[in-house]
Amino acid sequence: MKELRGISVSPGIVVGKAFLYVDERPQIPHYPIATLQIDWEVARFKRARDRAVSEVESLKSQTVDNMGSDGKRFLDVHLLMLADPEFGAQVEGKIRQEPTNAEWAMYEVVGAMVEQLETSEDQYLRERAIDIHDVARRILNHLLEREKVSLADLSEEVVLVTHNLLPSDTLLMNKHMVRAIAMDGGAKTSHTAILARSFEIPAVLGLSDITRNVRSGEEIIVDGNAGTVIVDPDARTRDRYLRLSREWRKRWAHLLALNKLPAETRDGKLIRLKANIEVPEETEAALAHGADGIGLYRSEFLFLKPGDFPSEQAQYEAYSRVIDAMKGAPVTIRTLDLGGDKILPDLPLHGEKNPILGWRAVRFCLSEVDLFKVQLRALLRSSTHGDLRIMFPMISGVEELDRVLGVLEQAKEELRRKGIGFNEEMPVGIMIEIPSAALTADILARRVDFFSIGTNDLIQYTIAVDRGNERIAYLYEPFHPGVLRLIKIIIEHAHAASIPVSMCGEMAGDPLATVILLGLGLDTFSMSATRIPEVKEIIRAVTMSEAVAMVDSIMEMNSYADVDRHVQEWMNGRFNLSPRA
Ligand code: PEP
Ligand code: MG
């Protein structure tokens, strides 16, 4: 028995048989060609490319239902690559220069492109290398006139174990037969992660060397809740996970049945449950899990690529896409929160002595006002697409807020001067994630339309505990009385000023915190989409007076351990929370 830890990207627990899918690297034929043959060889390449285009187009039209719109978009990216004149010209140039056969020329060109992308520090660009491989493999299949080996042919249920799936593999695979995915590569925002979440296939990625630790047919457990994979489990472990898996499936079916129901307490208080997203594609999962809107779109993920920042138009398109996809439901987009742990290799933000307390978020934007205004104009322009609200991260006090609001006003003025439309009434809020902002929430509340509590940072700054440091993770405690008191202050001040309060830190999606947050008066909870059903179940099962009574008793307690014990006992008596190993 062997246990490996990875990144949990899609929940669920599966015990099954491994299917090792290691895409065989085809032998690329290499032979010189005669000068007379050059035109014919170029034509052969173009023909293979045209066939690849028709293949992708027919895939797009035939199987759209089965893929969802995420799938369609990947195919669009592939069509763009196939149509790229620069790519075609480079391959043709190689065939003519050497002169050599089309397969070799194409792989020389593709190899150089992929090498450049694969060595990039940026995850997004590394993932584009996969798309290029995918497109090249498709053309090669036509050049060699061979049948493509495909995961579409899977005919029995398996746990797919692989090094790195190509987007087309993920789209085409027979999803009824893939019960779980365990992968060497990948991270939370990789294609496979997004698609696994959309298709609700439990998945653990970033396992480094799972493909070297398992053989096809071997028994394997994928725990997408905990981020672990167990190869060749002993009988006791297998039985334990089989039980957990049964419980999980039963519970998940029950939870998903709540999707269409409102998050309303037994005594009629309506709570908004929204989703946090990092990439526009995640809106689909948000809707599928019954989200009332997007409570946090971390816009910096658009910027986490080396080179130039995305243009105003590219940003406008990305924001509008999210707003359009949510079909009128509210969408809260947070302005750039670069810095801290979200750094770019190309920026001077790199190498700060103390990045968590350093030049990040609005501090960075206020010193790069032109760049900040590009984002604000893109946001304002997209506000005509639906119910957009924007919020500023890491506000520490009123001076900083006033400066940020000043830049927003300048961006509005620029658009007005050009006669470009935007929603003049677009709500503007701030994240409360620094203790000084929490303690001056009464002052800040007079200047904005809403608050959103960022507990991930608020806890880090309140307890002085680096949220990314494993060694002191035991101190990172949402139920610390200091944290609970700050949350209480924030909500009270906001309500006194008649503005609503949301929470978009991880605490909002923690079922153990739900009743406390309800009792404290939180209006909106925003979390990763798959957490919504469980939180909704709790909200629908309690009354506000029970929640207020819970808050009254925990606010008297001295330590987080006492609060934790009390909440656990209270919850265990009433709910069957999702099983965890
Ligand atoms: C937070 O700090 O709670 C938050 C939601 O923002 P991020 O995790 O992106 O810092
Ligand atoms: Mg934060």
For residue range 313-365, list pLDDT tens digits in order: 999 999 999 999 999 999 999 999 988 777 665 666 667 888 889 999 999 99
Q: How far is the CA of 455 from the centre of ligand 1 (A)?
A: 7
Q: How far is the CA of 428 from the centre of ligand 2 (A)?
A: 17
Confirm whether 504 is a catalytic residue.
yes
Q: What is the pLDDT of residue 580?
A: 42
CA–CA separation, 133 and 156 (whole Å) = 27
Q: How far is the CA of 432 from the centre of ligand 2 (A)?
A: 9
Q: How far is the CA of 500 from the centre of ligand 2 (A)?
A: 19
Here the tokens at position 279 are: 């990439």
Q: What is the pLDDT of residue 581?
A: 35
pLDDT tens digits along 511-537:
999 999 999 999 999 998 988 999 999
Confirm whether 163 is a catalytic residue.
no
Q: What is the overall mean pLDDT for the chain?
A: 89
- Average of per-residue pLDDT across 430-436: 98
Q: How far is the CA of 275 from the centre of ligand 1 (A)?
A: 13
CA–CA separation, 14 and 10 (whole Å) = 12
* Separation in Å, CA 121 to CA 170, 278, 305, 344, 345: 24, 19, 9, 9, 7
State whether the beta carbon of 278 lies less than 6 angstroms from ligand 1: no
Q: Which of 78, 191, 385, 493 is catalytic?
A: 191
pLDDT tens digits along 490-517:
999 999 999 999 999 989 998 999 999 9
Here the tokens at position 215 are: 């053989």
Which distant-in-sequence residues (6+ apart) come within 8 Å of 415 by Cβ?
377, 380, 381, 421, 422
Q: How far is the CA of 502 from the centre of ligand 1 (A)?
A: 13
Q: What is the pLDDT of residue 347?
A: 64
Q: What is the pLDDT of residue 579?
A: 47
Q: Counting atoms of ligand 1 from 1, which one is nearest the CA of 506?
A: 3
Q: Is the pLDDT confidence value at 44 over 70?
A: yes
**143 pLDDT tier (thresholds 50, 70, 90):** confident
Q: Counting atoms of ligand 1 from 1, which one is nearest the CA of 452?
A: 5
Q: Counting atoms of ligand 1 from 1, which one is nearest the CA of 340?
A: 10
Q: What is the pLDDT of residue 346?
A: 60
State whether the beta carbon of 455 lies less than 6 angstroms from ligand 1: yes
**167 pLDDT tier (thresholds 50, 70, 90):** low
Look at the alpha carbons of 333, 338, 343, 345 in this order and tell me if their dihedral is positive or negative: positive
Nearest residue (CA) to ligand 1, atom 7? 456
pLDDT tens digits along 447-488:
999 999 999 999 999 999 988 776 788 898 999 999 999 999
Here the tokens at position 81 are: 């690559």
State whether the beta carbon of 63 lies less than 6 angstroms from ligand 1: no
Q: Which of 296, 392, 457, 531 to mutate to test the pocket of ligand 1 (most atoms within 8 A of CB)?
A: 457
Q: Counting atoms of ligand 1 from 1, which one is nearest the CA of 393?
A: 6
Which distant-in-sequence residues (6+ apart) come within 8 Å of 335 by Cβ?
299, 362, 365, 372, 375, 376, 379, 390, 391, 392, 393
Q: Counting atoms of ligand 1 from 1, which one is nearest the CA of 433?
A: 2
Q: Which of 278, 279, 294, 298 to mutate to test the pocket of ligand 1 (most atoms within 8 A of CB)?
A: 298
- Average of per-residue pLDDT across 118-135: 76
State whether the beta carbon of 456 lies less than 6 angstroms from ligand 1: yes
Q: What is the pLDDT of residue 144?
A: 80
pLDDT tens digits along 73-114:
678 878 888 999 999 999 999 999 999 999 999 989 998 888
For the chain, domains (ranges, CATH) are: 2-23+150-255 (3.50.30.10), 35-143 (1.10.274.10), 260-572 (3.20.20.60)
How many CB atoms neighbour CB 569 within 10 A?
Answer: 9
More confident residue, 146 or 250: 250
Ligand nearest to the CA of residue 507, numbered in listed order? 1
Q: Which of 277, 304, 431 to mutate to test the pocket of ligand 1 (most atoms within 8 A of CB)?
A: 431
Nearest residue (CA) to ligand 1, atom 1? 454
How many CB atoms neighbour CB 467 within 10 A?
Answer: 19
